[in-house]
Amino acid sequence: MSEGKAFAEVRQPAPPASVERSLLSAVELFDGLSAAELNVVELSCRYRRFSAHELIVDRDSTTSDVLFVVRGGVRIVNYSLAGREITFTDLGEGQYFGELAALDGRPRSASAVAISDSLIVALPARAFVELLAAKPVVAMRVMLRLAAIIRVADERIMDLSTLGANNRVQAELLRQAHNRAPETNAAVIAPIPIHSDIASRVSTTRETVARVLNDLARQGIVERERDRLLIHDLGRLRRMVDDVRG
């Protein structure tokens, strides 16, 4: 089912403003908007619940809504011709996706799948663009987000060009750890990363991920617990990657 059809099926009168306001006020992009301004956004929105693993947006679809995660989580992915999943990022509550199609009018560049049972809010492209024009602070947040996406993409392209599979796994652990504890030499990644998820992010196999994690555990750099991965020495892990990058 395409995203446009899915949201069209649930178009309905808006819930009470107090309920919607409590949902959309948690979205990072809307931080600082007044109740009246947020209400204008709310009146343009449509809502849809998705079950875990359900497709939200299909790559190459021509829909252009910007989609906000107010409950649950979403994974942004693509698939190779052979069906191999390539994961770009995971988004949690308060985050959003789909802004590229809203801005340039071109088909979706990736698919989006619900990681868990999720509530998604869809804002039509026209309303999104009008909001950016009316609120420079919101437009700046979108630009900063796009800049961050480009930086991560550049880094991953460089990794694919210069690093072997083992080092790409190490670099991905660094990225995930940096998101959680950027100022310390230790980090906790929770829930514990699934081997197939890491493999899909760095273009390798689950077996390679398992081997790298086992090697790092033997060296005392990481420690696996029941529901989390402890990284005891980020500096040493970073040097292992930087020595190869040159």
Q: What is the CATH number of the domain that holds 89?
A: 2.60.120.10
Peptide bond into 182 cis (omega under 30): no
In whole angstroms, what is the distance from residue 63 CA to residue 217 CA? 45
In sequence order, what are the residues at sequence separation of 6 or more whose Cβ sits closer than 8 angstroms to the Cβ of residue 148? none
**CATH code where residue 188 lies:** 1.10.10.10
Residue 215: the pLDDT is 95
Percent of the chain with pLDDT over 90: 65
pTM of the model: 0.78
Q: Are 146 and 201 within one domain?
A: no
Which conformational region is residue 105 in: left (phi greater than 0), alpha (psi within -120 to 50 degrees), or beta?
left
Look at residues 128, 155, 182 and tell me which one is the last residue of a structural domain: 155
Per-residue pLDDT reduced to its tens digit, 67-108: 999 999 999 999 887 778 888 999 999 999 999 999 999 999
Instruction: Name the band, by pLDDT with cuts 50, 70 and 90, for residue 17.
Output: very low
pLDDT reading at 120 higher than 80: yes
Element (H, E) at 96: strand 96-97
Residues 88 and 43 in one domain: yes
Claim to verify: residue 97 and residue 196 sit in the same structural domain = no
Picking from 155, 179, 202, the residue at the C-terminal end of a domain is 155
Question: What does the pLDDT read at residue 181?
Answer: 53
Domain that holds residue 101: 3-155
Are 145 and 167 found together in one domain? no
- Do 146 and 91 touch, CB atoms closer than 8 A? no
Please tell me whether residues 98 and 139 are part of one structural domain.
yes
Which of 135, 155, 175 finishes a domain? 155
Number of domain units in the chain: 2
